[in-house]
Amino acid sequence: MSGEVIDSQMALADPRPDSGAAALSRASVATLTAAERERVLAKSALFNPPEAGLPDGRRELVGMDRAELAAELAAIGEPAFRVKQIWHWIYHQGVTDFARMSSIAKPLQARLAEKFVIGRPEAAVVQTSVDETRKFLFRFRDGQEAETVYIPDPVEDRGAVCISSQVGCTLSCRFCHTGTQTLVRNLGSAEIVGQFMAARDSYGEWPSPKGETPRLLSTIVLMGMGEPLYNYVNVAKAMKIVMDNEGIGLSRRRITLSTSGVVPMMDRCGEELGVNLAVSLHAVRDDLRDELVPLNRKYPISEVLAACRRYPGASNARRITFEYIMLKGVNDTEADARELVRLIAGLPAKVNLIPFNPWPGSKFEPSSRSAVDRFARIVNDAGFASPIRTPRGQDILAACGQLRTESRRERPAG
C-alpha cells in the first residue's frame, strides 16, 4: 500500500527535466487549480458573516488570531505581552468575564470590558439523547442558527464534538437533511470556535488540560452543517485557534475535516492545517455520484482521489477516511465494494460505512445489515479497516446528515 504512495510522491518530486508537452500540461494543471482555488475563495467570501461584536460597538475577542488581538490591544495602548495573558484567560481558562482575569489589574479589566466582549453562541435548545449524545441549537448574534453535536465515546471518558461550518449548505446531496436547506451564510471563526467552547461550558470542561491529557470533549469533527472547504478561511482560522498550544491546545491529530470533495481546497487544507481528512465518497461510479453528490459533476471521482493521493500528512498512521453511506439498492452491492477497493488501492485509507439516517421526507432506505456486513468484509479483506458507524442521537435528529435549522436567507430587496 505505502509503496505506491511513496512512488507517487517521488513522481511529484522528480528532478529530471520534463518533456516540453508534459511540463506544459503539468504547469497548466497547477495554474488551473490555483485559479479555481481563487474562484472558490472569492465566491465563499460573498457569504461571510457580519462583523463579530455587539451593536454597542464592543468587539468580539473570540475568533481573532493573535495578530488581530495584538492590533486591538495596541489600539488601546496595551503592550504585546498582554496578548499571551488574555489568550490564556480566554482559551485555556475559558473565562467570559474580564473581572475574572486575576493577573490583570482592575482598571485595565474595566477598560477591556468597555471595549471588548468574550462571547459564546446562545444555546437556544439543548437536547440529550437516550444514548447520551447531546445536540445544541446555537443561535448567533444575527439570529441565524446552526447545530452542534457532542458524541461521547460509549466506553471511554472522551468524545467528539461535531461542529458546523455553515448555516445550510450550497450543495444538495440527495441523502442529506442539511442539503435541503439553502446556504444562508458562512459561520465566522468566532462562531466556529464558539461552538466548541460553548459545548465545553456545558460540561464544565475548563481549564483546558495541558498537552494530550484527554478530556470528554477531546476531538473535533467538522462534519456538522455545511461544507467546510467552502468556508475555508474562517474554518482555518478557527482550527488554528483551537490548535494553539497556549490555549485549547488540541492536536491536529484530534481534528478531522470532512469534505464532499472540494478538490482545489484539499491541498491547501493539508498544507496549512494538516488535520485528518475525511472524504464523503458514497459512490464508485461518476454517473451515480453525480446524482448523490452533485458536486461530483465539477470534481469527479478521479480528481477527488488524485487530491487524496497528494494530501500531505496522510500515512498509514494517519489514514484518509472515506465515508460511504449505505443506501439500500443504490450503492451497496458486492460489485460496488470491489470497485471501491480498486479505486482506493495504494492509498493509506480506511472506509467508514455509514448506515443511512432517515429524516422527515427523505427518499432513501438504509441497507440491510447483511448487505452492510458483506460490503464491509470485502473492503476489510482487501486490507482496509471498514468500521460500520453506529448511528448516535437518532431520537433527537442528531445523527449524521440529520441536522437542519429553520434559518433562512432574506431575499434581496427588489
User: What does the binding site for ligand SF4 look like in residue numbers (CB under 6 A)?
Assistant: 169, 171-173, 176, 178-179, 226-227, 260, 280
Contact positions with ligand SAH (CB under 6 A) in 114-133 = none
173 is catalytic: no
User: Of 78, 147, 191, 323, which residue is the catalytic one?
Assistant: 147
The CB-of-401 to ligand SAH minimum distance in angstroms stands at: 2
The CB-of-8 to ligand SAH minimum distance in angstroms stands at: 24
Q: Judged by CB, which is closer to ligand SAH: 58, or 350? A: 350
Binding region for ligand SAH (CB under 6 A) out of 72-80, 129-137, 352-360, 377-385: 352-360
Q: Does 357 bind ligand SAH (CB under 6 A)?
A: yes
Q: Judged by CB, which is closer to ligand SF4: 219, or 280? A: 280
Residue whose C-alpha cell is 471595549: 115
Q: Judged by CB, which is closer to ligand SAH: 95, or 229? A: 229
Q: How far is CA 48 from CA 68, 120, 188, 357, in A?
A: 18, 19, 7, 30
Q: Does 144 bind ligand SAH (CB under 6 A)?
A: no
Q: Judged by CB, which is closer to ligand SF4: 171, or 193? A: 171
Cell reading at 229:
472547504
Residue 400 interacts, among ligand SAH, ligand SF4, none and using kind-specific CB cut-offs from 5 to 8 Å, with ligand SAH
- Interface residue with ligand SAH among 400, 404, 405, 407 (CB under 6 A) is 400
The CB-of-231 to ligand SAH minimum distance in angstroms stands at: 10
- Interface residue with ligand SAH among 195, 208, 218, 280 (CB under 6 A) is 280
Q: Judged by CB, which is closer to ligand SF4: 8, or 172? A: 172
147 is catalytic: yes
Q: Does 175 bind ligand SAH (CB under 6 A)?
A: yes
The CB-of-169 to ligand SF4 minimum distance in angstroms stands at: 3
Which are the contacts of 283, defined by CB distance < 8 A and separation ≥ 6?
A: 289, 291, 292, 293, 296, 301, 331, 336
Q: Judged by CB, which is closer to ligand SAH: 194, or 391? A: 391
The CB-of-56 to ligand SAH minimum distance in angstroms stands at: 35
Residue 354 interacts, among ligand SAH, ligand SF4, none and using kind-specific CB cut-offs from 5 to 8 Å, with ligand SAH
> Which residues of this chain interact with ligand SAH, rule CB under 6 A?
173, 175-176, 223, 227, 258-260, 280, 323, 325, 354, 356-357, 400-401
Active site amino acids = 147, 400
